[in-house]
């Protein structure tokens, strides 16, 4: 069965605008070389706790269900990080990616809401968003050392990157809605991750 393409139309439009910028090719190639071998897994092992069937059975089963719904046969390692913000994070590059979920999610979110966070981050991996997120971060560093002749091109590239990043999140939210089968659950998870108190929603 062919995988569904959940990419938001605005993401495709914004990516074309990025690729038309003459600085994009140069920065993309340079960054790709830097990112190869990024020790995302090593860092996660050193600072976080691996999620396994034995360590966190509920979360492990929920993650497996999410992977199955997205037809991902080789799971990316999932780690639990004991921090408070209600969020998950994907890190790495290509096939060397890992996911981290903050432990507070287990106490404050429902299972479908946790699945929204997992699916959202898996979407960023599936659609190769992480590489472009890293490229955007690199633009800030490049901008600090650029000469005035580059400023116009960099500013134009940053502008279209901001459009793309928003659209990439739309794509990830679409994937999450597919996984949980409910748009309202996605909206509620987003509201809670932004600090909204459930009782006043």
For the chain, list residues with pLDDT below 70.
1-2, 26-47, 139-154, 196-201
Distance CA 46, CA 52 (A): 16
Instruction: Evaluate whether 161 touches 136 at the Cβ level (below 8 Å).
Output: yes
Distance CA 102, CA 109 (A): 11
CA angle in degrees (0–180, nearest 5) for 57-63-67: 145
For residue 134, give Cα distances in angstroms to 45, 129, 150.
21, 9, 20
Predicted local confidence at residue 50, as pLDDT: 92
Predicted local confidence at residue 22, as pLDDT: 74
> Which letter, b or e, does each residue of 24-44 get, where b requires 16 or more Cβ atoms within 10 Å of its Cβ?
beebbeebeeebeebebbeeb
Predicted local confidence at residue 123, as pLDDT: 96
Predicted local confidence at residue 94, as pLDDT: 77
Structure tokens at 76: 């990316």
Percent of the residues in the chain that have a pLDDT greater than 70, as a whole number: 76
Task: Express the helix, strand and coil content of the chain in percent, nearest 5 each.
Answer: 65, 10, 25
Q: What is the reported pTM?
A: 0.82
């Amino acid at each position: 069965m062919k995988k569904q393409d959940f990419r938001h139309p605005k993401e495709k439009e914004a990516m074309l605008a990025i690729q038309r910028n003459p600085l994009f090719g140069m920065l993309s190639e340079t960054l790709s070389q830097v990112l190869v071998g990024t020790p995302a897994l090593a860092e996660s092992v050193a600072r976080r706790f691996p999620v396994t069937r034995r360590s966190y059975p509920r979360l492990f089963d929920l993650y497996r269900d999410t992977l199955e719904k997205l037809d991902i046969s080789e799971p990316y390692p999932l780690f639990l990080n004991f921090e408070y913000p209600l969020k998950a994070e994907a890190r790495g590059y290509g096939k060397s990616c890992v996911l981290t979920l903050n432990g507070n999610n287990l106490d404050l979110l429902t299972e479908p809401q946790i699945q929204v966070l997992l699916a959202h981050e898996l979407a960023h991996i599936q659609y190769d968003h992480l590489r472009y997120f890293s490229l955007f971060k690199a633009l800030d560093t490049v901008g600090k050392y650029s000469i005035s002749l580059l400023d116009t091109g960099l500013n134009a590239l940053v502008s279209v990157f901001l459009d793309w990043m928003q659209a990439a999140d739309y794509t990830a939210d679409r994937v999450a809605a597919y996984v949980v089968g409910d748009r309202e659950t996605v909206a509620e998870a987003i509201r809670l991750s932004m600090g909204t108190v459930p009782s006043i929603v």
